[in-house]
Structures are given as C-alpha cells and as structure tokens.
C-alpha cells in the first residue's frame, strides 16, 4: 500500500500517515460562513483538501473514506447581512450555500461524503442543525470545570487547560494575552477565555438553553459536529492557516476537555494563504474577486484548479493573470492528447508518490508535463487521462462544448476556405489580403504556421468562430 506522508501542524513534522481505521479514514475540514459568494482565497482549502480526499480514496478505496465539511449558518456576519439587506437569514444562507456548492463543483471539487451514507447533506452539516449537540457539549464542559456561566454567556476557562492551550499554534497563554486583540469583558476570568454560548435579543436567531435564549459561539460548532459525525478521535483536520489560532486552538480545547478519552484530530493540515499579483487580496486594493467573477470572465474552473495545484499548499500562492493564461494553454494541449482516451489505467506511480509526499502537487504537475511530452500511443494517452483524474482534472472534457463547436465549425469548411484564400493571396504576393486573413485568424485564436507544404493551422484555447463571421 502507498505510504502517505503529511506535514502535521501539531508536531511541525512530516509524518507517515496511519489512520485509526483503514476501513474508515476520517477527515474534517472547516467550511465557509454562508453570507456571500466565495472569494478566490476561500477556494484554496477546498481544492487542497479535495486533492487529499481523492488521494485517500485512491489509496484506501472510495468506500473507506469519510470527509465532513461544515457550513457555518449562524454568525454575526450573516445577521448583519440580513439586517442591511432586509432579507431573511434563511434565504441568505440557503442561497449562499448553493452558490458555494456550484462554484466549488466548477473547480472540480468532489462533495464531501460519509462512508456508507449516501446522504451528502449529512457530510456537509449546517451548524443550526446541531444546536442540541453543542448545548450538550457545553453542559459537559461546565460539569467538568472547563467552562463557566457569566451574565448569560458561557465561557471556556483557558486556565483549566493552561498547559495545553496554545500548543497547536505554538504560543503560551501569556504570549497570547500580550499579543492578542482579545475582547475584554468584565465577566471573563481570563482575557483569553472564549465564548461558547451568548445571549440573543429577540431580533436575533436564538435557541432555548439552560443559560437562556441564545446562540453558539463560532468554535463550538466544529467540535460538536466533528464529534457527532466522526467520533472523539479521528484522523485529519484541515483548514486555512488563518484558522489555526484561535479557531482550531479552541476546537482542540473544547473537544479534548469534553472528551478526554479521545485525541480529537490526530493530523492537522493547514494551507497557506492566496494572494493576487503579489498582494494581499482586499477590497481596498481593488484586487478582490470571487470564484464566480472569474468563471464569468470565461476562465474555466479547471484553469483555476490547475493554477492552485501548481503551488504547494504550504507555500503562499500567488494568483496572476499570466499563470491563468499559461494554465489554459497547457490544459488545451492536454485535452487534445486525451481526446478519445479512456480512464482505464492505473495512474502513474511517480505522480501518486509525489502526491503522497505531503501533497506535492507542483511536482505532480511537472511530472505530467514530462509524461505529456513522452506520450506516443493510445495507451499512454489512457494512462495520462487516468492520472489527471486523480488531480481532479479532465472531468468535463468528454462533453467539452468547445469540441463540438470546433467540429461543427470545421465541417462548415469556413476555416479551410480562409486558409485556401490566404494561400492564394500569398501566391499572388497580395500581402494585404493575406495579412488581413491572418490577423482575423489570430484574433479568433487560430494559430497558423507557414510551411513549405502550405499553411498549417491549430485552434487555440480561446478559439472563437464568431470572430471570423465578418470574413464569410
Ligand atoms: P472565512 O470565510 O474567512 O471564514 O474563510 C473560509 C475559509 O477560507 C477558511 O478555511 C480560510 O482559511 C480560507 N481563506 C480565507 N482567505 C483565504 C486566502 N486569502 N487564502 C487562502 N485561504 C483563505
Ligand atoms: Zn472549524
């Protein structure tokens, strides 16, 4: 069996991955807060953990992997969005959840799933569906002396777990107090104590609880849902490295104190952040965009995915227009090779090994460039195509709209006719006409090469037949 090695944030080392149960490898990834379209950065963890999910399925068998990713559908940002837009919370969260699923599917991400359970909804739990589990966990924490009630709030007492708190992110409680911008509240015993439950006024979402009508703090949902769906110990927990502190640190504190018999997550994986053209993505810099914006600009989801995979997940990733352009070219070439190919072969071993080495997707892609150059036979094409699936690429190539457009167009003969006209013009040294046709072809992304045997043409990834209409 392939050995997978993963960099574990908990130990700061690359470790051999050994699941607790090979028949049910379990992973939890923190999902989005649903109040707006996913921006490009939000898509990075989705693609990173999708590759890991596919690798785990390949190694352990698809029916032996469980992957849970939550939707945070109770949050003050959602409440604010509802208040400012005059729309209901449920309308906003339902709409945004569907947007997220559609956009991530466009990037080739598989939906999470629970082993032996076809109900995808359960693998993508909504926080609001797990309030009783959260309340039960908070009650347990209070009973064990790890949490206390104060002015309608319930807080986690970090001093009750002081020697462990901060281990994941490598800080001590004292460092954290010195450096953090924590909310100072008179009812906190320690400034680092964090909210498990807070009171809700009548105009805010709330649930009855032993501490009055209120709503959960953010961190408790992941602890409660992971416990309910994966148990007190499971294999992998993932998310962006901006979540390491406080979110993941707090998840660990809650889960390990509520269920000391378990270890919670055994391997912690964090992806680095995404930037745009070398700068932090932000609305004020004008370089903020959503996945949907890019899709609508005609950048295929597969191109976005490919650009993501070309940088290792633990390195900051820089999104640039140039990288997107290059990715499109590469995928276009690869698509031509796999036209008519079958996914009936095992993926290349060295590509599997690259992925198994802490998800070295950039190495996997350079290996694929090499394989592409060396591919000669139909069998090579089949193997290449099968390997691409492991990276989540090539899923939609079969029904590629572009292919059918190309075929319909080519049969119409217009392109042949234009090439003929260009050749005639060249024979007559009518450079003006020849250049005119050439420019129109280039504009439509038909690449031409003048050879001794005549003019060769190749359609580029941006081939647009409508641009040739004028020449008809
Ligand atoms: P948020 O909506 O900010 O809670 O983020 C949802 C997910 O997107 C989390 O897993 C974050 O780590 C991730 N994320 C947010 N911004 C970025 C970014 N610029 N690059 C990579 N991941 C990000
Ligand atoms: Zn979480």
pLDDT tens across 95-135, in order? 999 999 999 999 999 999 999 887 888 999 999 999 999 99
Domain span including residue 209: 17-271
Provide, rounded to the nearest whole percent, the portion of the chain with pLDDT above 70.
Answer: 95
DSSP state of 114: B
Whether the CB-CB separation of 193 and 157 falls below 8 Å is answered with: yes
User: Taking 60 as the threshold, does the pLDDT of residue 343 lie above it?
Assistant: yes
Q: Give me the pLDDT at residue 267, please.
A: 98
Instruction: Please give the number of the atom of ligand 1 that sits closest to the Cα of 30.
Output: 10
Same domain for 30 and 136: yes
Residue of 29, 31, 43, 44 to test ligand 1 pocket, by largest number of atoms within 8 Å of CB? 44
Same domain for 373 and 427: no
Q: Which ligand is nearest to the CA of 243?
A: 1
Which of 350, 368, 393 marks a domain boundary? 393
User: Taking 60 as the threshold, does the pLDDT of residue 402 lie above it?
Assistant: no
Which of 244, 271, 298 marks a domain boundary? 271
Q: Give me the pLDDT at residue 340, please.
A: 84
Domain assignment present for 7: no
Q: Give me the pLDDT at residue 282, please.
A: 83
**pLDDT for 327-339, tens place per residue?**
999 999 999 888 8
Q: Give me the pLDDT at residue 185, please.
A: 80
Closest CA to 356 of 72, 54, 108: 54
Instruction: Please give the number of the atom of ligand 1 that sits closest to the Cα of 42.
Output: 8
Lowest mean pLDDT among 12-16, 276-280, 445-449: 445-449
Distance 29 CA to ligand 2 centre (A): 7
Residue linked to tokens 């406080």: 246
**pLDDT for 155-213, tens place per residue?**
999 999 999 999 999 988 888 777 766 667 888 999 999 999 999 999 999 999 999 99
Distance 222 CA to ligand 1 centre (A): 16
**pLDDT for 450-461, tens place per residue?**
888 888 888 788
Provide, rounded to the nearest whole percent, the portion of the chain with pLDDT above 90.
Answer: 78
**pLDDT for 19-66, tens place per residue?**
999 999 999 999 999 999 999 999 999 999 999 999 999 999 999 999
Q: Give me the pLDDT at residue 407, please.
A: 61
Same domain for 462 and 386: no
Mean pLDDT, residues 216-220 taken together: 96
Q: Is the CB of 244 under 6 A from ligand 1?
A: no
Whether the CB-CB separation of 25 and 66 falls below 8 Å is answered with: yes
The helix-helix angle for 321-338 and 301-309 (nearest 10°) equals 110
* Average pLDDT over all residues of the chain: 92
Distance 19 CA to ligand 1 centre (A): 27
**pLDDT for 56-93, tens place per residue?**
999 999 999 999 999 999 999 999 999 999 999 999 99
Same domain for 288 and 257: no
How many domains are there within the chain?
3
Distance 53 CA to ligand 2 centre (A): 18
Question: What is 189-221 written as a DSSP string?
Answer: SSTT-EEEEEE--TTS--B--TTSSEEE-HHHH
Q: Locate 430 and state its tokens.
A: 């009518």
Which of 271, 298, 319 marks a domain boundary? 271
The secondary structure element, H or E, covering residue 427 is helix 414-427
Same domain for 367 and 284: yes
Q: Give me the pLDDT at residue 403, please.
A: 59
Q: Give me the pLDDT at residue 406, please.
A: 63
Q: Which ligand is nearest to the CA of 39?
A: 1
CA-based end-to-end distance of the chain: 59
Distance of CA 99 to the CA centre of its chain: 14
The protein residue whose alpha carbon is closest to atom 17 in ligand 1 is: 41
Q: Locate 9 and state its tokens.
A: 């944030």
Distance 250 CA to ligand 2 centre (A): 9
Q: Is the CB of 33 under 6 A from ligand 1?
A: yes
Burial class (CB in 10 A: 0-12, 13-18, 19+), 145: exposed
CA dihedral 293, 299, 301, 302 (to 10 degrees): -160
Q: Give me the pLDDT at residue 401, please.
A: 47
Domain assignment present for 342: yes
The secondary structure element, H or E, covering residue 321 is helix 321-338
Beta partners for 195?
155
**pLDDT for 239-264, tens place per residue?**
999 999 999 999 999 999 999 999 99
Domain assignment present for 5: no
Residue 419: how many CB atoms within 10 A of its CB? 18
Same domain for 262 and 209: yes
User: Taking 60 as the threshold, does the pLDDT of residue 400 lie above it?
Assistant: no
Domain containing residue 122: CATH number: 3.40.50.620
Q: Is the CB of 26 under 6 A from ligand 1?
A: no
Same domain for 165 and 96: yes
Same domain for 61 and 143: yes
Q: Give me the pLDDT at residue 462, please.
A: 82
Report the C-alpha gap between 259 and 126 in whole angstroms: 22
Q: Give me the pLDDT at residue 410, please.
A: 64
Domain assignment present for 10: no
Whether the CB-CB separation of 317 and 40 falls below 8 Å is answered with: no
Mean pLDDT, residues 309-325 taken together: 97
């Amino acid at each position: 069996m392939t050995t997978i090695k993963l960099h574990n944030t908990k130990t700061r080392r690359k470790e051999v991955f050994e699941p607790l149960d090979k028949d049910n490898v379990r992973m939890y990834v923190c999902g989005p807060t649903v109040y707006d379209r996913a921006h490009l950065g939000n898509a990075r963890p989705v693609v990173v953990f999708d590759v890991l999910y596919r690798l785990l399925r390949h190694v352990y068998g698809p029916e032996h992997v469980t992957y849970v990713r939550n939707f945070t559908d109770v949050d003050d940002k959602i409440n604010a969005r509802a208040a400012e837009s005059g729309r209901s919370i449920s309308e906003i969260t339902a709409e945004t959840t569907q947007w997220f699923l559609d956009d991530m599917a466009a990037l080739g991400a598989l939906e999470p799933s629970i082993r032996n359970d076809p109900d995808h909804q359960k693998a993508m739990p909504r926080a609001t569906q797990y309030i009783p589990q959260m309340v039960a966990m908070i009650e347990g924490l209070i009973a064990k002396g790890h949490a206390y009630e104060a002015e309608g709030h319930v807080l986690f007492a970090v001093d009750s777990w002081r020697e462990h708190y901060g281990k994941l992110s490598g800080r001590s409680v004292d460092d954290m107090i010195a450096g953090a911008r924590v909310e100072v509240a008179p009812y906190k015993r320690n400034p680092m104590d964090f909210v498990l439950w807070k009171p809700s006024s009548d105009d805010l979402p709330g649930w009855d609880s032993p501490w009055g009508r209120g709503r959960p703090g953010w961190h408790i949902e992941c602890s409660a849902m992971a416990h309910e769906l994966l148990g007190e110990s499971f294999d992998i927990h993932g998310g962006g490295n901006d979540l390491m502190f406080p979110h993941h640190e707090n998840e660990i504190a809650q889960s390990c104190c509520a269920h000391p018999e378990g270890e919670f997550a055994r391997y912690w994986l964090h992806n680095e952040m995404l930037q745009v053209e070398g700068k932090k993505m932000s609305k004020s810099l004008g370089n903020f965009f959503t996945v949907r914006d890019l899709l609508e600009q005609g950048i295929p989801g597969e191109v976005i995915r490919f650009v993501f995979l070309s940088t290792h997940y633990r390195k900051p990733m820089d999104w640039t227009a140039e990288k997107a352009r290059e990715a499109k070219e590469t995928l276009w070439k690869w698509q031509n090779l796999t036209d008519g190919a079958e996914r009936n072969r095992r993926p290349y071993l060295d590509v599997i090994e690259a992925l198994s080495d802490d998800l070295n997707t950039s190495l996997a892609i350079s290996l694929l460039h090499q394989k592409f150059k060396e591919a000669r036979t139909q069998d090579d094409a089949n193997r290449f195509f099968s390997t691409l699936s492991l990276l989540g690429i090539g899923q939609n190539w079969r029904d590629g709209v572009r292919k059918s457009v190309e075929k319909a167009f080519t049969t119409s003969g217009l392109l042949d006719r234009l090439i003929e006209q260009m050749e005639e013009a060249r024979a007559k040294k009518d450079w003006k006409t020849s250049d005119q046709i050439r420019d129109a072809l280039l504009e439509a992304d038909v690449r031409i090469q003048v050879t001794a045997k005549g003019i060769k043409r190749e359609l580029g990834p941006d081939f647009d037949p409508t641009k040739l209409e004028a020449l008809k």
